[in-house]
Amino acid sequence: MKPYPDLVKAIHREGYIFIIIFAAVTFVLGSFSANLGWICGICTLWCAYFFRNPERMTPVGDDLVISAADGIVTKITEITPPEELELGDEEMIRVSVFLNVFNVHINRIPVSGKILSLHYHSGKFFNASLDKASIHNERQSVKVETKNGTKLGFVQIAGLVARRIVCDLEEEQEVVAGERFGLIRFGSRADIYLPLKTAILVTEGQTCIGGETVIADLKMKKSEQPKFERR
């Protein structure tokens, strides 16, 4: 495992304007009422907390698939990937990670390789934990090819209160697992589409850490996939 080489500020740049607005409202309302000032001050601190941008330690391995986001694995299912990913009509394994408003919302590259295509789909804003969010919600889909030639997809999905998806990637860009590539504001979901033969190393209900938790191992046989028990 290795630390990221890039040094970034503790707050993502997307959060600056919101923190400034929250702080300004706190100052104005606080001048009229101390109670309002305290309430708005707490909201300002939450806003800064929401846009926090922590460092992560990423496991190294060309065949490892790393969680693209912090949150709970809500569903692992076999399903046909969205058409825009151009991954074919065969079913793939989809691992869905739901982010609530208290999770880190910085998204990270799940595998090292090359970005093959990007597709933005405008849509609705259902609760991101619902299965239909993968089809109907606003989303940013990314197709990537690993260094070993495996093609897979990952998708940023807007949620009930999310209204902006940020993706800083470009086609043909070489990427490294664990690198930051964007965020989704105020609640969302991240899906990863993997070949059916992939050994999945997480289970539904598990908490993932973006850039650290290993979702799958592309070279491990599915028969070697670990079994999980609730205790």
pLDDT tens for 53-85 read 888 899 988 899 999 999 999 999 999 998 889
Q: Which domain holds residue 216?
A: 58-222
* 132 lies in the same domain as 66: yes
pLDDT above 50 (res 105): yes
Same domain, 42 and 62: no
Bridge partner residues of 76 (DSSP): 95
The two three-digit tokens of residue 65, written as one number:
């698939």
Residues marked as catalytic: 188
In terms of domains, do 91 and 143 share one? yes
Is there a single domain that holds both residue 77 and residue 170? yes
Q: How many domains does the chain have?
A: 2
Same domain, 3 and 92: no
pLDDT at 2 over 50: no
Which of 10-19, 30-39, 77-86, 198-207 shows the lowest mean pLDDT across its residues? 10-19
User: Residues 124, 118: contact at Cβ < 8 Å?
Assistant: no
Q: Are 46 and 136 in the same domain?
A: no
Same domain, 121 and 73: yes
The pLDDT of residue 193 is 96
* 32-43: b (≥16 Cβ within 10 Å) or e: eeeeebeebbee
Does any domain span residue 114?
yes
Better-predicted residue by pLDDT, 9 or 52: 52
The answer to whether position 173 is within a domain reads yes
Tell me, yes or no, whether 23 and 109 share the same domain.
no
Q: Is residue 229 part of a domain?
A: no
What is the arithmetic mean of pLDDT over 174-189? 86
Q: The tokens of 211 are what?
A: 């850039």
Are both 40 and 119 inside the same structural domain?
no
Neighbours of 108 (CB within 10 A): 28
b or e along 84-93 (b: 16 or more beta carbons within 10 Å of the residue's beta carbon)?
Answer: bbebeeeebb
Using the 3D structure, point to which of 9, 26, 55 is the last residue of a domain: 55
Residue 227 lies in a domain: no
Please give the structure tokens belonging to residue 72.
């709970």
Considering the domain architecture, whether residues 12 and 64 belong to the same structural domain is answered as no
- Identify the CATH number of the domain in which residue 144 sits: 2.70.70
Q: 100: Cβ–Cβ under 8 A, 6 or more apart, which residues? A: 71, 72, 187
Domain boundary among 17, 34, 55: 55
